[in-house]
Structure 1
Amino acid sequence: MSDNAPRSRWLALTVLSAAMLMTILDGSIVTVAMPTIQRDLGFSPAGLSWTVNAYLIAFGGLLLLAGRLGDLIGRRIMFLVGNAVFTAASVLAAAATGPGMLIAARFLQGVGSAMASAVMLGILVTLFTGVKERAKAIGVFSFTGAAGASIGQVLGGVLTDLLSWHWIFFINLPIGLATIALAIRVLPGDPGAGLAAGADVLGAVLVTGGLMLGIYTVVKVEQYGWLAAHTLGLGGVSLALLAAFVWRQASAKAPLMPLRIFRSRNVSGANLVQILTLSAMFAFQILVALYMQKVLGYGALETGLAMLPAALAIGGVSLFVSARLNTRFGERAVLLAGLVLLLGAMGWLARIPVRADYLTDLLPVMLLIAGGGLVLPALTALGMSGAKADDAGLASGLFNTTQQIGMAFGVAVLSTLAATRTDQLLAAGQSQPAALTGGYHVAFAIAAALLVAAFTVALLVLRQPRQDTAAPQQAAQPIPVA
């Protein structure tokens, strides 16, 4: 291996992390700006939710397909095209003059994010094969995911208040262009297995349609209810499509998603833990911000600054602590410890008062949420540990897909339960702030229950991988850098 190869690998990690940061920022930066967007573009309350839903549906629905296509046509190509689509769509969103234009741009952003995000972990785990350097690389990469959401809320508040909401999308243009330029130079070129090796068109149609329809159904639960004909009908069709996809994968000669990947306890268990954990984390990322604005009366900038300690705590732990702990104690033990910290944060929020004091009621939560900086790197390593090198893109796409399923599930379940409880308290004569707080209490309590379930699955299912099988590896040979 040449002297420049190690440096090139870390430059490649920088590119991957920048792309991940841009994606995560885009997912959370919008939330703080939504009231301003609604006022400026004339969104209805129901229509406003589609600034988030359109992105989620495209992103979650296409990740598996994009991950497998990355294995077939080359992960570098998929990454570059995805970033180009995302950057162009960001400019379109920034220039939006009406609801339809913004929603369409957000959908295209989701398409680009899916293409790029689906292959990021696959590229990472084939670049870093040593146990210690892989742990460090995953820690850096996970830092952008763990802290990015909180940073997005801070940045969203600053940009919206000081400039305009348009800048929450314009900011992606320089980041995207720089990422593409660097990626062309430092990402390893991989030809892929070729479309003939696994171009399962029918499987692609079934899984993409099933996931998109399923996520759409879940995010509309708040509007229609769980037992409505709309929810049950579309949910049934979604499950039928996904069942047909599984049958197809069991019988196809070149399946889009070989079912052998689920034979690994760590792959199956880590993805289930991720769904449960990210469903719970929605309560922090979104509901805490809503509580600050609707109950405490914070503005967008104040809300963003109030969330800053969480971003610093998560970022500091994932960047400087997680890799060392994972190497010393193992990812499984670190994951369990991180889940305990997150459970403490949700338990604290479940008792938060109507007139909260930031220092005594909210700051402790911002510090306990640092558990996310332990959970995500450990979960990433465990989730990728059971996949072979040829399936790295697929495993990466699957891992990112369960992220979106977890987020969509959290949006539907926790926001619906919070809204239902709030309506009950309002009907009972409580004030608006007290009723909202009571609704949030229910959501935070359910989030705590989801984390208990995640801890149980992690404890009973996950196993600490041997050091020589911690993640998909290539043979020990020079990695070509274009």
Structure 2
Amino acid sequence: MPDVRLSSPQGKWILVTTVLGSSMALLDLTVVNVALPRIGQDLGADLGALQWTVNAYMVTLAGLILLGGALGDRFGRRKVFVVGVLWFAAASLLCGIAPDAGVLIAARALQGVGGALLTPGSLALIQASIHPDDRGRAVGLWSGFGGIGAAVGPFLGGWLVDGPGWRWVFLLNVPLALLCAPIALRHVPESSGAKAEGRFDVLGAALGAIALGLVTYALIEAEGDTVPAAASAVAGLAAAIAFVLVEKRRPAPMMPPAIFASRQFSAVNGVTLCVYAAFGGFFFLAALQLQVVVGWSALAAGTALLPTTALMLLLSARSGELGDRIGPRIPLTVGPLLCAAGMLLMTRVGPDASYATEVLPALLVLGLGMVTLVAPLTATVLASVDTARAGLASGINNAAARAAGLVAVAALPLLAGMGPEAYRMPDVFDAAFRRAMVLCAGVLVVGSVLAFTTVRRPAPDCRHPECRTHGSVAVPPLEPETAPGGERGA
């Protein structure tokens, strides 16, 4: 049984290293968006290259995160966590010195592999090391500090871009990793899962990542040469079908189809896809809109986006309590509608927009919607399956959220009519941004209707502190804990 008390020096070091590790992966989901205009300018990149700068990371992260959790259970969570941290740092260094967009995109894909190794291990180390009596507080602190990191991410990104330069958005990970890894090796005890037998579902993970990558390529390149894009779309669909068939037939699949027999689980994951697709598309385009069209600096644009994550950090606990009392249906219906209203309000943000009268009201409404839905959404996912599969359910939900975001980043510019050079033409980008916000609002309305018509069973008390104190707008928290002797989570 885990016996490290949180108040002990070792307990504090465990918390420090897990926060540092998860913050590295989380920051790269938030700070890069603010740097995109400057990256495009310095590297001569078109909009498609900027989309790949975001999505290359997301493809490998979403496709491999479940496998990363399994590797930690088999070979040791601390060992895989440290490997992930060092891998992430090496890829970040390559991002920071990239001479062109092609190298940057490849390095971002490598970053995603590192993120897939370290992200599941971050919370798993707390669960496996900290005494049960202190675990709730430890997880709450872990998620709270992670929320602070998410909140300051855009501000930090803007400061780095306007100061030492956009390359430091990536280079900053190197000293963090060099601090994190030695602490983990010295102070964190090694642990592994209860079940170490069986084979890894490497084929399933590879097919999932390939399908995501091919579909993403098809969407990003659709406005160029349509033949390669069409071929990529067909190949991506074939890979997705192969993934489903493989998962049905393997004795130990990465994503067991049987888990979707829970109607509630399937419905809430549908809501997750809608919600995080809209969030991913919004934060990708909003950072560009505020700089390209409104004319703000990277620092001003990053600072402008703080209210959404600040509201999440401050009010998520109360939202979780409300979801416990009234059940998930109302929050999961009302929350997406509030987010949709916030995105429609963003259509008022154009050249020389006022922050106080146009940008801030939209972000406050959007933030309140996020607060309303995120904690109940995560708690409902964990409550929709038996305890032994809670970790697996959370891993699937986390991967679904990341996949939804990357598809949105690929598809929204195409659907909104943004050409490769749109971000260099303020008038063109402004018109396309308004269309994109309407599309995001529509997807959120679909999510609200889905929640209203399918989510019925009230969620029990949320026994997962990271649900209530979750402060990130990028993805749900990843819960790796399983019942004793149960099957592993993600």
Would you say same fold, with TM above 0.5? Answer: yes
* 2:5 counterpart SS class: helix
* 1:5 counterpart SS class: coil
Q: State the Cα distance separating 1:195 from its structure 2 match.
A: 5.9
* CA displacement 1:274-325 (0-9 Å, x = unmatched): 211111113431222222212221121221222233342233223x534443
* 1:197 counterpart SS class: coil
Amino acid at match of 2:483: Q
- Residue aligning to 1:25: 27
Q: Using structure 1 for the length normalisation, give the TM-score.
A: 0.82
Amino acid at match of 2:96: A
Matched, 1:367 2:364: yes
- Residue aligning to 2:116: 114
CA pair 212-63 structure 1, distance change in 2 beyond 3 A: farther
Amino acid at match of 1:340: L
Q: State the Cα distance separating 1:204 from its structure 2 match.
A: 3.8
* CA displacement 1:96-128 (0-9 Å, x = unmatched): 334443333222111101222245566677789
- Residue aligning to 1:457: 450
Amino acid at match of 2:436: A
- Residue aligning to 1:416: 414
- Residue aligning to 1:256: 254
Selected match of 1:474 from 457, 462, 483: 483
Counterparts of 2:194 and 2:175, CA distance in 1: 33
Counterparts of 2:169 and 2:178, CA distance in 1: 16
* CA displacement 1:47-99 (0-9 Å, x = unmatched): 44432232222222222332343444444443332222112211222233344
Amino acid at match of 2:429: L
Q: State the Cα distance separating 1:364 from its structure 2 match.
A: 0.7
* CA displacement 1:5-45 (0-9 Å, x = unmatched): 35577875664444333212112322222333334344455
Counterparts of 2:46 and 2:177, CA distance in 1: 31
CA pair 91-2 structure 1, distance change in 2 beyond 3 A: closer
Amino acid at match of 2:435: V
Answer whether contact 1:219 1:409 (CA < 8 A) is retained.
no
CA pair 50-452 structure 1, distance change in 2 beyond 3 A: closer
Answer whether contact 2:46 2:421 (CA < 8 A) is retained.
no
Answer whether contact 1:76 1:190 (CA < 8 A) is retained.
yes
Counterparts of 1:198 and 1:417, CA distance in 2: 41
* CA displacement 1:337-382 (0-9 Å, x = unmatched): 4323312211212344554222111111221222324433332222
Answer whether contact 2:51 2:409 (CA < 8 A) is retained.
no
- Residue aligning to 2:382: 384
Counterparts of 1:12 and 1:332, CA distance in 2: 37
CA pair 3-46 structure 1, distance change in 2 beyond 3 A: closer
Counterparts of 1:360 and 1:169, CA distance in 2: 34
Answer whether contact 1:417 1:443 (CA < 8 A) is retained.
yes
Counterparts of 2:183 and 2:376, CA distance in 1: 28
Counterparts of 1:62 and 1:96, CA distance in 2: 24
CA pair 385-212 structure 1, distance change in 2 beyond 3 A: farther
- Residue aligning to 1:162: 163
Q: State the Cα distance separating 1:433 from its structure 2 match.
A: 4.7
Counterparts of 1:142 and 1:232, CA distance in 2: 44
- Residue aligning to 1:480: none
CA pair 89-152 structure 1, distance change in 2 beyond 3 A: same
Is the deviation greater in 174-183 or in 361-370?
Answer: 174-183
Is the deviation greater in 197-206 or in 184-193?
Answer: 184-193
- Residue aligning to 1:215: 216
* 2:217 counterpart SS class: helix
* CA displacement 1:252-289 (0-9 Å, x = unmatched): 22333222221223432232222111111134312222
Answer whether contact 1:198 1:256 (CA < 8 A) is retained.
no
Counterparts of 2:381 and 2:141, CA distance in 1: 14
- Residue aligning to 2:280: 282
- Residue aligning to 2:103: 101
Q: State the Cα distance separating 1:168 from its structure 2 match.
A: 0.9
Is the deviation greater in 29-38 or in 329-338?
Answer: 329-338
Correspondence 1:180-259 to 2 at 5 A: 180-184=181-185, 189-192=190-193, 196-221=197-222, 223=224, 228-259=226-257
Counterparts of 1:140 and 1:203, CA distance in 2: 31
- Residue aligning to 1:151: 152
Amino acid at match of 2:460: R
Answer whether contact 2:281 2:405 (CA < 8 A) is retained.
no
Counterparts of 2:341 and 2:162, CA distance in 1: 32
CA pair 46-455 structure 1, distance change in 2 beyond 3 A: closer
Matched, 1:439 2:432: yes
Answer whether contact 1:53 1:216 (CA < 8 A) is retained.
no
Answer whether contact 2:389 2:482 (CA < 8 A) is retained.
no
- Residue aligning to 2:53: 51
* 2:248 counterpart SS class: helix
Is the deviation greater in 149-158 or in 122-131?
Answer: 122-131
Counterparts of 1:15 and 1:387, CA distance in 2: 31
- Residue aligning to 2:475: none
CA pair 292-396 structure 1, distance change in 2 beyond 3 A: same
Q: Using structure 2 for the length normalisation, give the TM-score.
A: 0.81
* 1:369 counterpart SS class: helix
- The answer for unaligned runs of 5 or more in structure 2 is 465-478, 486-490
Q: State the Cα distance separating 1:187 from its structure 2 match.
A: 5.5
* 2:353 counterpart SS class: coil
CA pair 33-235 structure 1, distance change in 2 beyond 3 A: same
Q: State the Cα distance separating 1:161 from its structure 2 match.
A: 1.0
Is the deviation greater in 306-315 or in 42-51?
Answer: 42-51
Answer whether contact 1:345 1:365 (CA < 8 A) is retained.
yes
* 1:199 counterpart SS class: coil
CA pair 334-121 structure 1, distance change in 2 beyond 3 A: farther
Counterparts of 1:267 and 1:222, CA distance in 2: 36
Is the deviation greater in 356-365 or in 38-47?
Answer: 38-47
Counterparts of 1:443 and 1:75, CA distance in 2: 41
Amino acid at match of 2:452: L
Matched, 1:342 2:339: yes
Counterparts of 1:275 and 1:142, CA distance in 2: 24
CA pair 73-354 structure 1, distance change in 2 beyond 3 A: same
Amino acid at match of 2:163: L
CA pair 45-445 structure 1, distance change in 2 beyond 3 A: closer
Counterparts of 1:328 and 1:185, CA distance in 2: 43
Q: What RMSD over aligned residues (CA atoms) do the two structures have, in Å?
A: 3.7
Q: State the Cα distance separating 1:447 from its structure 2 match.
A: 0.8
* 1:350 counterpart SS class: helix
Counterparts of 1:189 and 1:77, CA distance in 2: 7
Is the deviation greater in 370-379 or in 300-309?
Answer: 370-379
Answer whether contact 2:385 2:393 (CA < 8 A) is retained.
yes
Q: State the Cα distance separating 1:423 from its structure 2 match.
A: 11
Amino acid at match of 1:409: V
